[in-house]
Chain A
Amino acid sequence: MLAPLIFFDYLTQSIIDWGIIMERKLKKYGLIFIAVAMILLALFMFYPVLYSFYLSLTSTKLGKTDFVWFANYKRILTDPLFWTSLKNTFVILLIQVPVMLFLALILATILNDKSIKFRGFFRTALFLPAVTSLIAYTILFKMLFSYTGLLNTTLMRINLISEPIEWMSNPITAKAVLIIAMIWRWTGYNMVFYLSGMQNISEDIYEAASIDGASKIKSFFMITLPLLKPMILFTTIMSTIGTLQLFDEPMNLSQGGVTAATIGPSNSLLTLSVYIYNLSFKYVPNFGYGATVAYVIVILIGILTLIQFRVGATDDEKEARKLKKQNRREKRRA
């Protein structure tokens, strides 16, 4: 839900930029051209966003829709399945995103080293998972980790385990499989961002550092990391948003049961987005309550993004914010 918002921000920004340039000459035409995009945006973006908020204030039961104000938001507080899905989503988020970004950073650093042979090949190989379909790779991982799957067979052959592990039947290992699969799928994707960021860091800085006697590790921490900060911030936010909206993978990992009552064993793969789907389409449909959960995701993403912006702010930005606060305080005093 937020990805389009970011895109929209970008769009308005470019429209504004464009507008300033053309202001004098083409003001009239400009408005006309904007109108087309704006009408489309209003119709397919603003209206659904506002309408889904209205929906979140209603509740449907057996064909009757009532306006219930904030009763849905109250209901969420005592809904055990909502808390299960929230907990699952955050466990996945807190493990998967840091591990993946850390791996991506290491891989990018290694592949950025010009002395490594076949760099192009390794880059492509690591990025390839990012082009596979979400459904396909999920099914593949499900097969790999099945009771008689490749992994169990291999582990038994090399005598690491005496009996196959029931990966997908245990809440903890099922979640682990999901996280491993997601790391496989998304690490290369983030690595490419870091690589492009690293290519913008001048060789001179590293050279100067090495003359000053900095080791490779030291220059990684003192040069690469600080200069990559905006990129790291960007990937963190994008991954957080992506994980909070996680849907395809848990849905497909758990699907295909003879009747598939729970999403993963003990609902261990039930994420917020899957819960929204269930509320709207699997259970007795209550689109209003589903919209409420969707809005909770929006609020969560907003809060998390804000925190990440604060944490990831450059020293200048922090300084500026401090000054702003001081000014305000002084104004109040005066």
Chain B
Amino acid sequence: MKKILLVISVIALSIGLFAACAKSTPDTATNTSGNQQKDSQQKDTEDQSSSSEKQKITVWAWDPNFNIAIMNEAASIYEAAHDNVEFEIVEMAKADVEQKLHTTLASKMTEGLPDIVLIEDYNSQKYLQSYPGSFADLTDKLNYNDFAPYKVELMTVDSKIYGIPFDSGVTGFFYRSDILAEAGYGAEDLNNITWDRLIEIGKDVKAKTGKAIISFDKSDGGLMRIMLNSSGLWYFDAEGNITVSNNEALKEAMETYKKILDADIIIPTAGWNEWVGAFNNGDAASVISGCWITGSVKAATDQSGKWAAAPVPRLNYTESKNASNLGGSSWYILDAAQNKDLAIDFMNEVFGGNVDFYQTILTNNGAVASYLPAIKGSAYSAADEFFGGQAVFADMGKWMNEIPSINYGLYTYEADSAIMANLEDYLSGSKTVEDALKDAEAQLKSQIQ
């Protein structure tokens, strides 16, 4: 009796295992709108019965409050105009999107892929060049003159353009006008300044008000990227050669990091939450970052009217401008996508032509687009009460046009890691800036062989 039971249970178990394998539904990702999920399930069953069914566009992205919300908005606009289309917008963590995309593309399976995927700009060249032919060539499909040139540059490989430029990471110097006024600085004193000037102001502010000028994470490469991008230089030149030890702007950026630390004008933080917390609770008088930070700035509603925005500081390096970029991402269409042409049409119609859509997402989500005609829209010119009536988004649109175009190349993360690891040794005084740059270059070379 016992044996029979054992045999039965083993069989049952193995059947269960096989069934579980066969039925594999790898998507653990959550569908953003419950209704859509229900709809699509219904549609799935209908699909089997009749073939003249709705075509589905699948999208992968991260951040429910930003990218996902915006994509939902775009989808509803397109769905309203086209009967036979529906969307499945899949929300995943950013790391998960990247991981899934990597593994699926590397396995050369096209089945699990979405039609449209969001890729961070620092990563775009990596995907485009690592998986040639996997993304749809859109050179003739979109009017790229309508988009910010620096964004288009990032998605170009061999003069073919692959993506749909999305949100801009145009940077600004967002400051507490009340604190800086207390120290005697008006808007004019903060317009188009250099980093050195910022440090002087920071010392003055600290002496007069006791407040730190910024919250600062010294192992974070954000400011480094801002400084580099404003100079039109990167860790690599346009041909992809390493430009680290001979990079004037990079050297000055590292020295500026040290100056900022030595001046004792900052609140040291580790990680995003502390960094945001420091300016939200009024300990730091300003924040220098991409425009997407305004969402977090505005989270401190009690500070409404006490903020203002100025162009980002520049380096002393002669080519450096008071305009830069940090972060931002773009949409890409998979070449093997089932509904590739439909996806292109959708992108063209909404992201490449609907100015009103861009006003909506600016108002609702604070998304500064890289679609230039949108910047002339009403939402952009509106005065922002939080920033004391300043039309910050119109200003950002102006700055965006001045961002120097650079090609991030394939190895931004490798370079970042090499530089930030050696920067630490320079900051602690165990290496000179020249040695730190040399070591970083050596590490980078070994990483990208």
Write the residues of chain A forming the contact surface with B, with a CB cutoff of 8 angstroms. Answer: 29, 33, 36-37, 40, 60, 62-63, 75, 78-81, 84, 142, 146-148, 166-169, 171, 255-262, 264-267, 278, 280-285, 287
Contact = CB atoms under 8 A, between A and B. Distances in A.
A33 B10 contact: yes
Contacts of A29: 7
Given A258-B222, A260-B220, A281-B102, A63 B130 contact: yes
A63 B277 CA distance: 42
Interface in B163-220: 217-220
A302 to B, nearest CB: 27
Interface stretch (B28-36, B262-270, B357-365, B398-406): B262-270
B417 interface: yes
A75 B271 CA distance: 33
A143 B446 CA distance: 35
A266 B327 CA distance: 22
Contacts of A63: 129-132
A150 to B, nearest CB: 13
Interface in B14-31: 14, 17
The 3 closest A-B CB pairs, nearest first, are A168-B270, A266-B424, A261-B416
Interface stretch (B48-56, B307-315, B385-393, B407-415): B407-415
Interface in B412-442: 413-414, 416-417, 419-421, 424-425, 442
B448 interface: yes
A163 B446 CA distance: 40
B321 interface: no
Contacts of A282: 413
B98 A146 contact: no
Contact of A147 (B126, B267, B272, B327): B267
Given A36-B14, A262-B417, A284 B272 contact: no
Interface of B: 7, 10, 14, 17, 95, 98-99, 102, 106, 126, 129-132, 217-222, 225, 267-275, 277, 289, 327, 410-411, 413-414, 416-417, 419-421, 424-425, 442-443, 446-449
A82 to B, nearest CB: 9
Contacts of A262: 219, 416-417, 420-421, 424
Contacts of B7: 29, 33
Given A75-B449, A80-B442, A148 B421 contact: no
B277 to A, nearest CB: 8
Nearest to B126: A284
A62 B106 CA distance: 11
Contact of A261 (B95, B130, B417): B417
A12 B309 CA distance: 68
A290 B110 CA distance: 23
A269 to B, nearest CB: 10
A117 to B, nearest CB: 41
A257 B220 contact: yes
B131 A261 contact: no
A151 B413 CA distance: 33
Residue with the highest number of chain A CB atoms closer than 10 Å, among B10, B219, B221, B273: B219
A94 B53 CA distance: 62
A78 B446 contact: yes
A273 to B, nearest CB: 15
A63 B128 CA distance: 10
B221 A62 contact: no
A147 B274 contact: yes
A96 B269 CA distance: 26
14 contacts: A60-B106, A81-B446, A147-B267, A168-B271, A256-B272, A256-B273, A257-B272, A259-B222, A261-B219, A261-B413, A266-B424, A267-B417, A281-B98, A284-B130
Nearest to A258: B222
B132 A285 contact: no
B190 to A, nearest CB: 22
Given A267-B421, A278-B417, 19 more contacts: A36-B17, A40-B14, A75-B449, A146-B271, A166-B268, A168-B271, A169-B268, A256-B272, A256-B273, A258-B217, A258-B222, A259-B222, A261-B417, A266-B424, A281-B95, A284-B410, A285-B102, A285-B126, A285-B130
B242 to A, nearest CB: 14
A171 B218 CA distance: 12
Contacts of B289: 258
Given A171-B424, A284-B126, A265 B219 contact: yes
B271 A257 contact: yes
Contacts of A169: 217-219, 268, 270
Contacts of A166: 268, 270
B134 to A, nearest CB: 8
Given A62-B132, A80-B446, A259-B416, A281 B273 contact: no
Contacts of B417: 81, 261-262, 267, 278
Contacts of B443: 80-81
Contacts of A259: 220-222, 225, 327, 416
A262 B427 CA distance: 15
Contact of B272 (A79, A258, A285): A258
B271 A142 contact: yes
Contacts of B129: 62-63
A40 B414 CA distance: 38
B131 A266 contact: no
A261 B268 contact: no
A283 B414 contact: yes
B359 to A, nearest CB: 28
A81 B447 contact: yes
A60 B131 CA distance: 11
A149 to B, nearest CB: 9
Contact of B220 (A78, A147, A258, A284): A258
A283 B447 contact: yes
A289 to B, nearest CB: 10
B85 to A, nearest CB: 32
Contacts of B218: 169, 265
Contacts of A256: 271-273
Contacts of A266: 219, 421, 424-425
A261 B271 contact: no
A62 B220 contact: no
Contacts of A80: 442-443, 446
A148 B274 contact: yes
A259 B417 CA distance: 10
B132 A284 contact: no
Contacts of B17: 36, 40
Contacts of B99: 281
Q: Which of A167, A264, A281 is most buried by chain B, counting CB atoms within 10 A of its CB?
A: A281
A87 B221 CA distance: 24
B268 A147 contact: yes
B214 to A, nearest CB: 12
A84 B425 CA distance: 14
A80 B441 CA distance: 12
Contacts of A33: 7, 10
A33 B442 CA distance: 56
A258 B289 CA distance: 10
